[in-house]
Structure 1
């Protein structure tokens, strides 16, 4: 590194992608940090996890994986709400098709997506 690198210290970091911490709405939580200027959204559900993460400076997409190995990857979109809707639809499909303890005759373990996500 040259001594000229010190001159860039007063520049603000460029935010990577369209996602801001304030885009997190329950049950989604923001993950990342302000020093890296990158945020993504995470939602845990019974049997898996979904995230919405930046693909480029202006687009993001939803991704998900279940504990049984099923995966999902949404199309890159500019609207964060659209990526969240894609992920929520996939989560609804996965939780509707997943057997619960209630199916085996026990109400214990029934899925409740209104529970808050676990801390990171």
Structure 2
């Protein structure tokens, strides 16, 4: 009989331990959920910043392509004899080259 009572007492003690374990598991779940939400937030912000960088790169490429397109349109709509507007830095190069070109033109064509 004593063995039956011991078995009964042991079976009665286990629910107390289970309740403690359940409480610990619930607290762990809550902490895991909080960590998961924080990691989700971090990943969302990282994803947003990466997408923003991609958008900035694409905007820069688009701006460059638009500038190239405008330059090509100006080049093709210009009359054949017209010279393009030169930037101020290349003006000195042109001024140095112009006398040499005029000299050779006179020599070759009369």
> What's the TM-score bracket when you normalise by the shorter of the two chains?
under 0.3
**Higher RCO (CA-CA < 8 Å; seq separation 6+):** 1
More strand by share: 1
Considering only CA atoms, is the larger Rg found in Structure 1 or Structure 2?
2
TM-score (structure 1 length as normaliser):
0.21
More helix by share: 2
